[in-house]
Amino acid sequence: MNRILRPEIECMPRTELEGLQLDYLKRTVPKLYATVPFYKAKMDEMGLDPFRVKTLSDVRYLPVTVKDDLRAAYPYKMFAAPMRDIVRIHASSGTTGSISVVGYTQYDIDMWSECVARSIIAAGGTKDDIIHVAYGYGIFTGGLGLHYGAEWIGACAIPVSGGNTKRQVQFLRDLVTVGGMGCTPSYALLIAETARALGEDPSTFPLRYGIYGAEPWSENIRRELERELGISAYDIYGLSEIMGPGVGFECEYQSGLHINEDHFLVEVLDPETHEPLPDGEYGEIAFTTIDKEGMPLLRYNTRDISRIIPEPCPCGRTTRRLQRIMGRSDDMIIIRGVNVFPSQIEQVLMQFSDRLAPQYQVIVSKKGALDNLEVQVELKPGFDFDEISSLENLHHQVKAAISSELAITIDLKLVEPHAIERTQGKAVRLIDKR
């Protein structure tokens, strides 16, 4: 299969790729020292000579950047390029509602577009395709990111954005005569569900592929989307602070996210010591943007939990792969001392997809002094609950399966179809009332 946009880069021998990374890094570190007071202060404080980066592994001595640093730099203090060279601004929101701003030069926009273009080609897209973009357009990076990537390869982008789900169904049916779509996986599920409710079978639409990202999702959700929409579903990874979607993407083997390593140096950090971990071990993912101009970041800790897959990919790309993101270390809930990710619960629920809908919510509260975790999940429409023993059996099986996966006892509540509120952006899976 030839689904590689830039084989001379994506399949470059590792030694050459690492040489290229080092060249970029040797330029970017002194530039940051000279232009961004935050990095100058950090390096001075650490006694670091910005010209002493000699090997790629020297990256471990560079300062780590965290979200709070970006907030403190609001709005433009992290920019390394003068404002006259900035052609675009995006922003990312934090959980506390504060916003951090990202600036792009034309070089950055072109580089980003090409990264997304690589993702589309890897998903089987071509220049003849029509691509339905249902990520939100605006200051967040999803919509415009995929849009520019589609145009980069010469495909036709439809900037549908989020919302008006009935119209989404109509466009997918009528306008996307050849091609694919992109949005969050939970919104894709809502579109499929809405199509069914309108009496349509979305698996008969001409859509070939979906490029889904911006929230963690599971292998089971992938299968559900592929079956419901009659497509191949691919993961795309990215974050506004680093660039936007396209930092990493899945190839036709659907087994991990190839990092665009000619632009992003990836590390896995121990969540406690922040020391780099070897390939294969789980930790917090950090990126250094080695050739960005507008707002390069050193070792930005995404707080996403994953690992680097040590084995090479059969597709021929030499870029290393990141395992599907397990969740953010911020999403990790600690229940009675046990670490729990909502994605683990989702994995279990999908084993019951014959009787349960892929809509759930996790509610954490205090029951007396103890933490309590309740999972609410919707019954599938058409489930025969009249024989109440079938409800009881399902209840016991699901409760036992989740409790055993998480190694803690949970409460389960089966709820009516459509009882859980739908969202058009990232799904709200966790409500922590503690």
Partner 1 sequence: MAQQLSVFLENAPGHLSRLTRFLGDNNINMHALFVADTGDYGVARILCDQTARAVEVLRDAGFSVTVTEVVAVEVPDKPGGLADLLDDIAAADIDISYSYCFVDPATKNACNVFRLKDPGAAQLIRDAGYRVLLDTDL
Residues that bind partner 1 (CB under 8 A): 379, 381-382, 384-388, 391-392, 395, 413-418
Please state the closest distance from residue 399 (CB atom) to partner 1, in A: 10
Which one of the spans 28-36, 139-147, 253-261, 341-349 is the region binding Zn ion (CB under 5 A)?
Answer: 253-261
Residue 16 CA to residue 99 CA, distance in Å, equals: 38
Q: Are strands 338-340 and 321-322 parallel, antiparallel or unpaired?
A: unpaired
For the beta sheet containing 430-432, the strands, ordered from the edge strand earlier in sequence to the opposite edge, are: 411-415, 370-379, 356-367, 430-432
Cα three-residue angle 40-42-45, rounded to 5 degrees: 105
Q: Should residue 120 be labelled a site residue for Zn ion when binding is judged by CB under 5 A?
A: no
Q: Which does 414 bind (CB under 5 to 8 A by kind): partner 1, Zn ion, none?
A: partner 1
Report the nearest approach of Zn ion to the CB of residue 248 (Å). Answer: 11
Helix H or strand E segment including 4: none
From partner 1, Zn ion, none, interface partner of 388 (C-beta below 5 to 8 A by class): partner 1
Helix (H, G, I), strand (E, B) or coil at 112: helix
Nearest CB to partner 1, comparing residues 36 and 394: 394
DSSP state of 27: H
Report the candidate in 186, 178, 92 with the shortest Cα–Cα distance to residue 134. Answer: 186
Task: Decide whether 81 or 420 has the Cβ nearer to partner 1.
Answer: 420
Contact 115, 108 (CB under 8 A): no
DSSP state letter for 340: E
Q: Which does 40 bind (CB under 5 to 8 A by kind): partner 1, Zn ion, none?
A: none
Query: Among 252, 225, 221, 224, which residue's Cα sits nearest to residue 321?
Result: 252
CB 431, min distance to partner 1, A: 17
> Min. distance of Cβ 413 from partner 1 in angstroms?
7
Contact pattern for Zn ion over residues 275 through 314, marking x by CB under 5 A: --------------------------------------x-
For Zn ion, the binding residue among 64, 102, 195, 251 (CB under 5 A) is: 251
Smallest distance, Zn ion to C-beta of residue 317, A: 5
Q: Does 322 bind Zn ion (CB under 5 A)?
A: no
CB 387, min distance to partner 1, A: 5
CA distance between the termini of the chain: 51
The C-alpha atoms of residue 292 and residue 238 are separated, in whole angstroms, by 15
Helices (H), 59-155: 67-72, 106-122, 142-152
Nearer to Zn ion, 2 or 95 (CB): 2
Residue position matching structure tokens 């597709």: 315
Closest CA to 359 of 424, 399, 417: 417
Q: In the complex, what is the shortest distance from the CB of residue 19 to Zn ion, in angstroms, rounded to a whole number?
A: 22
- Choose, by CB under 5 A, the member of 115, 315, 350, 377 that binds Zn ion: 315
Tell me which residues touch Zn ion (CB under 5 A): 251, 253, 313, 315, 317
